Amino acid sequence: MVFLLIHMTTQRETLLEIDRYIEQLCVPANADFAQALRDAAAAGLPEINVSPNEGKLLYLLAKIAGARRILEIGLLGGYSALWLASALPTDGRLVTLEVNDKFAGVARKNLERAGLLAKVTIRVGDARQVLAELIRAGEPAFDLVFIDADKPSYPVYLDFALQLTRPRSVILADNVIRNGTVIGAQATDAVVRGIQQFNQQLTGNPQLETILIPVLRERVDGLAIARVR
Ligand code: DHB
Ligand code: MG
C-alpha cells in the first residue's frame, strides 16, 4: 500500500515534469497569454483552461489545416481563443460562444490586450440557440471547430459542428479521456456519460476519421481530432 502510494505520487510528478519539459521547449513565453490566465483566475473563473502545451497544439493544428474560419464552443476566459486567433491570417475569423456574460467580458479584455480582438466575434448566449441561429443565418462553413464547453452537451454540439463544417474541415474536442473515467460501461455521471456518447458518435461516424490523443496535466485527459471526409 505504501509502495502504491509512493508509486502513484511519483507517476503524477513525472507527468507534470514531462508537461513542463515540453512547455519549456515548445511554448515561447508570452506576457499577454500569461496575464490572461492570471486575470481569469483573479476574476474567479474556474481554472479549467487548456494547458499551454495543448494551446500550442490547437494553434499548430489550426495552422496545419490552413484554417481561415474557426468556431469555438466554450470561450471561458479566452485562453484557447488567444491560441486559435493567433493561428489565423489577418483576415481570418474566430467565432466563439460563451454562455456566461462575465466570462465573456474577461475573455474580451484578454483578447484585446493581445491585439487579437479584431479577428474574434464573441457570441454570448446558450450555445444551442446561437448555433441554431448561425445555421439559420447561413453562416459559411468553418474550417475548424473546437468543442470545449459543458460536457453533457458534447453530443449535441457535435451534431451542430457537422452542420457547420465541410469536407476536409477539422473537428476538435477537449477533455475526451478524463483520467480514464470514460473507459468501460456507460457511466451514471452526466459529464462522463456525455463524453462517452460523444466519443462513440465521433468514432462511429463514417463521415469522420478520428483519433483521441492523451493530453498530460496533473491527470491524463485527451483531445479528439477528427477530419470530415
Ligand atoms: C472541466 C472542463 C474542461 O473544459 C476542462 O478542460 C477541464 C475540466 C470540468 O468542467 O471539470
Ligand atoms: Mg476543456
Mutate to test the pocket of ligand 1, among 175, 181, 182 (most ligand atoms within 8 A of CB): 175
Q: Decide if pLDDT at 199 tops 70.
A: yes
pLDDT of residue 3: 58
Binned at pLDDT 50, 70 and 90, residue 218 comes out as confident
Mean pLDDT calculated for residue range 84-92: 98
pTM of the model: 0.96
Binned at pLDDT 50, 70 and 90, residue 100 comes out as very high
48 lines ligand 1 (CB under 6 A): yes
Mean pLDDT calculated for residue range 80-95: 98
Which atom of ligand 1 is least distant from the CA of 76? 4
| 19 vs 12: CA distance, rounded Å | 11
pLDDT of residue 12: 85
Q: Decide if pLDDT at 103 tops 90.
A: yes
Kindly state the percentage of the chain with pLDDT values over 90: 92
49 lines ligand 1 (CB under 6 A): no
Q: Decide if pLDDT at 1 tops 90.
A: no
Q: With the CA atoms of 122, 213, 209 and 201 taken in that order, what torsion angle do they form, in degrees rounded to the nearest 10?
A: -70
Which one, of 149, 75, 148, 72, lies nearest residue 107 by Cα? 75
pLDDT of residue 4: 59
175 lines ligand 1 (CB under 6 A): yes
Mean pLDDT calculated for residue range 162-190: 97
pLDDT of residue 67: 99
148 lines ligand 1 (CB under 6 A): yes
143 lines ligand 1 (CB under 6 A): no
